[in-house]
Structure 1
């Protein structure tokens, strides 16, 4: 049974008369996506699981509008009749886009899309959030290891064994340069760069995480998330597409390191929290196991920086 009050949401956003209940489509960390069909069309209704300030929602919609004007394809956000982004403190709406199931973009396409997003140059509002810029730090890692010490096996043991490496990795983080910061997507992954079903064109999804960041640092994070061997074609495609960021040293992976640390901490505490739902604890445990199976390490950061340096050298 749908958890979406379809009549209320449809009326608030002027979507037209619903022709049935909303159908569950997907879930991320920030919300659930439902498909709502009305006599006017199909819509993606996002049920927010984390409170969002209207001010912040308006900021990400402004970036989405700038991206659409620059030619980036995305599900257009829909505003309420009064011009708000969020209705009832819980709902957001976008145009529905049918996607090709199971089809992923190539590393080169991911690099080119990242270049296009960075080329927008949309001004940043505020400072880079600690999630993307600050290390967890030795104290934080040791506290997390102590919290996980009561149980053995699985991700807990792997996390405890990784603390030394995570502390060493944090030492690479440097503060962001305010002059280099613009509004970035901050969640560029193959899950969010997809193909439209009707023509195979690339569509960029999930813009709610956007905000201030350095293009070079976001680029480094995109490269760090790719499978081995895919970083060089992605970086070259980014350069060829006119992307402004350059990855030249391990410190450029500061955003990737900070985000990995905060994600590990977030998932670990969620997985260990008995007050969380079983769904949340299970999801958190699965994410931890996946991340700890292929963590970002100093060695991999240094190797990726070297790959980018070689890719920047003109061919003879």
Structure 2
């Protein structure tokens, strides 16, 4: 009987081994097909329009409708076929003008009263961020998903609206309403600002001085305090900067120079900042400059905004000179020289690159971000009086 058991065992074992060997070479069963990029974008647009409709139904100051409205969709924009001209700058420059005959345009219907809905350009998650415009009533709507800590971009914008305009009247749009939606979205309604975005670096340069002066007024009104890098960022700065160096995003010379600046632990100026001071967020109106999209606003080193202006400057050297002059700070000046203070904030922004590049893997905007990152690392090297390194390719 023992011999019979061993024979059966060998037969079973051999069969298992043969099946295993076949499995090593047999093709894996095809994975179920996932959604196409177009299907993912359609789902995001559907989510965005549902959120807009829900806000319109709950906020009396906004137009609303229960009937389907004919709309056109292209890329991350949904708009009425006859989009009012006053809302033109809500739409990205590459998608403005007539869409007649344009490839990729889709017709759809939804019960929303907004004239245009635009999804955020780097919004890659399953939740949507958007802005919508209402030409007839002159209002804008922003909807943002709530973060794990219970805040959202709406939190920063709402906090800024009253405070900024108290110190520098007219610098930010007037806020009308703030609320929440089921599903973890926050929203706000504010004035639609009639004006032209300073979308080119040369237009921004032409209005740089009044912009810096108004931001300096904001700093004085809010108050300027001093903090050392270790107080502002803790140990995370050097840890994240170490990752930047390990991934080869900066030269060894720049990497070492920044590490020494951080280690010096001198004083930085800290006040209220916009947080995303790109040229497209600065509008020239009949009454002067207005800065929109305060969703990233917070108290942080003042050169955070300076670094953004420097990054998008037509003449970076002149921009540094104007920042040095108009943000001199008097008794509140930093104990870092202005160029070093600015270099530290560029470095801090570069620390976001490894995470952002990973999130943008496979996304068409990754190359755009790489070009921006190359410019930023070159500007950082220039501020430190060092030659630029090779362009980042991570």
Normalising by structure 2, report the TM-score.
0.56
The aligned residue for residue 54 of structure 2 is 8
C-alpha distance in structure 2 between counterparts of 1:14 and 1:131, whole Å? 45
Shift of 1:288: 1.3
Shift of 1:7: 3.4
Asked if 1:62 is matched to 2:159, the reply is yes
C-alpha distance in structure 1 between counterparts of 2:381 and 2:374, whole Å? 15
CA contact (8 A) 1:136 1:261 kept: no
Shift of 1:62: 2.5
Q: Can you list the C-alpha shifts for 1:227-270, whole angstroms capped at 9, x where unaligned?
A: 33322234334459x89555625541354233332232233212
Shift of 1:299: 4.2
The aligned residue for residue 87 of structure 1 is 181
Number of matched residues? 271
Match of 1:286 among 368, 373, 377: 368
Structure 1 residues 29, 128: CA separation in 2 closer, same or farther (over 3 Å shift)? farther
Structure 1 residues 16, 299: CA separation in 2 closer, same or farther (over 3 Å shift)? closer
C-alpha distance in structure 2 between counterparts of 1:64 and 1:116, whole Å? 15
CA contact (8 A) 1:186 1:211 kept: yes
Structure 1 residues 249, 21: CA separation in 2 closer, same or farther (over 3 Å shift)? closer
C-alpha distance in structure 2 between counterparts of 1:250 and 1:92, whole Å? 38
CA contact (8 A) 2:272 2:298 kept: yes
Matched residue of 2:212: which SS? helix
Match of 1:235 among 324, 342, 350: 324
The answer for unaligned runs of 5 or more in structure 1 is: 146-158, 273-277, 305-316
Matched residue of 2:293: which SS? coil
Normalising by structure 1, report the TM-score.
0.67
Matched residue of 2:279: which SS? coil
Q: Can you list the C-alpha shifts for 1:54-92, whole angstroms capped at 9, x where unaligned?
A: 556545523321111121422233434xxx4x4342242
Match of 2:140 among 44, 47, 53: 44
C-alpha distance in structure 1 between counterparts of 2:164 and 2:235, whole Å? 22
Q: How does 1:106-121 map to 2 (within 5 A)?
A: 106-121=207-222
Instruction: Kindly name which structure, 1 or 2, has the bigger radius of gyration based on alpha carbons.
Output: 2
Structure 1 moving runs of 4+ over 6 Å: none
The answer for unaligned runs of 5 or more in structure 2 is: 1-44, 66-112, 387-394
Shift of 1:118: 1.1
Give the structure with the higher percent strand. Answer: 2
Higher relative contact order (CA 8 A, sep 6+): 1
